[in-house]
Structure 1
Amino acid sequence: MNLVVVGSLNMDILIPTDPYPGPGETVMGGDIQYVPGGKGANQAVAAARLGAHVTMLGMVGADGYGKQLKKMLEHDHVDTELIQTSDKSSGVAFVHIEKDGENRIIVSPGANYAYGVENVLKCKNMIERADAVLVQLEIPIETVKAVLDIAAVAGVPTFLDPAPARADLFEQIGHVDWIVPNESEVELLTGQPVYDIKTARLAAAKLQQLGARRVLLKVGSYGAYVSDENGMSFQPGFQVVPVDTTAAGDAFCAAFVVDYLRYNSVHSALRVACAAGALTVTKQGAQPSLPYAEDVTAFLDVAIEVEGLAQQSESS
């Protein structure tokens, strides 16, 4: 399985804070950490750890962060040969983690926003030979459109994680095979809040009218929905104690793509994706928290045992 991931590479600077400072306020934070991140790089690492052969396309600066970001990808056997270098600084994300595991993130995109259409065209052959392409919105929208267009002409399935979301997305890109928003992103894109299967179906229908062939909707700890040619599917989330929600959506998205490509089963892919997302929130940091295939398998084995015991209890 050859997966091409096109997107951002950032160095995440983590500072635990409780409470988060208000305007003009100073609070003392915990120890600072420097952790490789960026939605593109996170998804590349997550997919590689789950068994895919992954090629990363993107851009870093000619600085220490850039070298570290590539090195960490290579540590997880992600192919970095086509990552290009800019005279701009590497992308940086400032991540503030609160006591309940929720985060607030400020991104300085740097070299990520220098990754233009001409850079993608240099990698056209790699995109055309992929089994699937996964892309996000932390690079210029024109670049995203170019990636989707190249893949469409070559008949390569495309998965778009629309983060950070923008209301004019479909005016810019026109089409995508799979769109993978969370509940806040889908509301921005469609105006439809999601809080149950009925509203999920309405939101998915609007996305499909706009240009998405299939919809994979993340609803956090509650689980996820898929709307495709077979109708609507739902997978409840797995309950865990959250430590840090950073990269949970990236793990979910990558896990779904890898399992779906492997087995062509929405049901299996949804379950694996929810497990990968749940495991990710139990650890701190972006890429360090991303699970390996054996972690997901073990987690699901335990979940099956628990579900079996619950069913026995209900029937007795």
Structure 2
Amino acid sequence: MDVYGLGTLAMDVLMKVDNLPSEDGFCIVKSNDRQPGGSGTNVIVQLARLSAECGYIGAVGDDILGKEVLNSLRDEKVDINSMIIRPGMITLHTDIVIDDGGSKFIMLNMGDAFESLTTDEIDIQAITSAKVFYTDLLPKEPAIIGLRKAKEAGVKTVFNMQVGLGTMQGLNVSKQEILSALKYVDIFAPCRSGLYELTGTTDLDACARCLQEYCEGTLLFTLGKDGSVIYDDNNRKYTVPSCDLKVVDSTGAGDSYMGAFIYQHCLKGMPIEESMKFATMCAGYTCTGIGARYSPDLEIAKTLVWK
């Protein structure tokens, strides 16, 4: 297949509110919705919608949430033959609260199925026969084994750290384990908070110098409304601004960006800056609708014009 993923998955419970409350405050819930989410599966779904052949592995419970996660991937034509179903366990899910301006906070319920995935259960053949192996390093042990096996097989590896260092540590992944894993990584894409916490600085050039001690590949920094920056393996710097648009909901925009960049650069072989612009337009499209899966398919993506 084109891309094989191992990482987070979830069901998202979306609550649209009139404002994000401060401590001891309250808000009015204007609407509720339930949608499949999880950063890892969002990236894979974006890739699948752009016509990439994708597979995924993770562990879900046999609850209604787990069934919906599996059905959502199946509906997107993602190969789920490697997925693990745990009887009697609870599937990872999130509650996402979004205000009228698109700002949000996310509450994560880990359940007990997701982190139960073991290294013995991962499909090494699927990993090493793919063109790209994608992970967010969760769960830790299977993801690190996957990165190592993929790297040894000459498969392009992508590590997208979509949460901050504190959250990673709460999920039993230390800073040193993150940095040590970078020797197996061709493209490292940390979120802004994770980047700053890993490196101890907000200066992007200094961030790059720090990470280049551990990673010989490409560094991709997504910065929300401030656009994105890439340092390639020759330390050339590329900067692309964000799209100028009215944001409805920014949930999943980074996932859409990542999937679109992998598709355009890793699978289609397009130059870095062109791939960044394509990814930025796909992420911008995601911001114009509700939910992490409001991402463009290939036909829609072809109509997006860089401005």
1:103-182 map, 5 Å: 103-110=104-111, 111-120=113-122, 123-137=123-137, 139-166=138-165, 167-175=175-183, 176-182=185-191
Give the drift of 1:210. Answer: 2.5
What is the rounded CA distance, in whole Å, between the counterparts of 1:98 and 1:247 in structure 2?
15
Aligned AA for 2:220?
Answer: L
Give the corresponding residue for 1:65.
65
- Superposed CA RMSD in Å reads 1.7
Residues 253/136 of structure 1: CA separation in 2 closer, same or farther (3 Å cut) = same
1:197-212 matched pairs, under 5 angstroms: 199-212=203-216
1:115: how far off? 1.8
Of the candidates 273, 280, 284, which is equivalent to residue 279 of structure 2? 273
Q: Does 1:296 align with 2:270?
A: no
Q: Name the aligned partner's letter for residue 239 of structure 2.
A: F
- Which residue in 2 is equivalent to 1:97? 98
Residue in 2 that maps onto 1:312: none
* Aligned-partner Cα distance in 1 for 2:249–2:231: 29
Deviation at 1:161, TM superposition (A): 0.7
Moved more, 55-64 or 166-175: 166-175
Q: Which residue, 193, 216, 229 being the options, matches 1:225?
A: 229
User: TM-score scaled by structure 2?
Assistant: 0.90
* Whole-angstrom distance in 2 between the partners of 1:191 and 1:49: 37
Deviation readout 1:120-171 (Å, 9 max, x if unpaired): 2xx000000000011114x222222111111111111111111223233435
* Distance in 2 of aligned mates of 1:210 and 1:96: 36
Aligned equivalent of 2:196: 187
Gaps of 5+ in 1: 194-198, 308-316
Higher helix proportion: 1
Contact 1:214/1:228 (CA < 8 Å) preserved in 2?
Answer: yes
Between 1:108-117 and 1:150-159, the stretch displaced more is: 108-117
What is the rounded CA distance, in whole Å, between the counterparts of 2:126 and 2:198 in structure 1?
A: 30
SS in 1 for 2:237: strand
Distance 1:17 1:169 in 2: 38
Shift of 1:278: 0.7
Whichever residue aligns with residue 105 of structure 2, its letter is: R
CA contact (8 A) 2:180 2:214 kept: no
Aligned residue for 2:245, secondary structure, equals coil
Q: CA deviation at 1:74?
A: 1.4
Does the Cα contact within 8 Å between 2:11 and 2:36 map onto a contact in 1? yes
The one-letter amino acid paired with 1:159 is V
> Contact 1:141–1:172 (CA<8 Å) still a contact in 2?
no
What number of residue pairs does the alignment pair up? 293
Q: Which amino acid aligns with 1:148?
A: L
Contact in 2 for aligned 1:145/1:172 (Cα 8 Å): no
Task: Give 1:221 shift.
Answer: 2.1
Matched letter for residue 244 of structure 1: D
Q: Which runs of 4+ in 1 moved over 6 A?
A: none
Q: Deviations along 1:37-70, whole A, 9 cap, x unmatched? A: 0111111110001110011111111111111111
Deviations 1:228-253 (A, max 9, x none): 13411112221111011110000000
The corresponding residue for 2:257 is: 252
Deviates more, 1:199-208 or 1:33-42: 199-208
SS in 1 for 2:186: strand
The alignment's TM-score, normalised by the length of structure 1, stands at: 0.88
CA contact 2:56–2:83 (8 Å) conserved in 1: yes
Conservation of the 8 A alpha-carbon contact between 1:8 and 1:59: no
Counterpart residue number, 1:13: 13
In 2, Cα distance between the equivalents of 1:268 and 1:17? Answer: 37
Alignment of 1:32-43 (within 5 A): 32-43=32-43
Q: What's the counterpart of residue 196 of structure 1?
A: none
Q: Structure 2, unaligned stretches of length 5 or more? A: 166-174
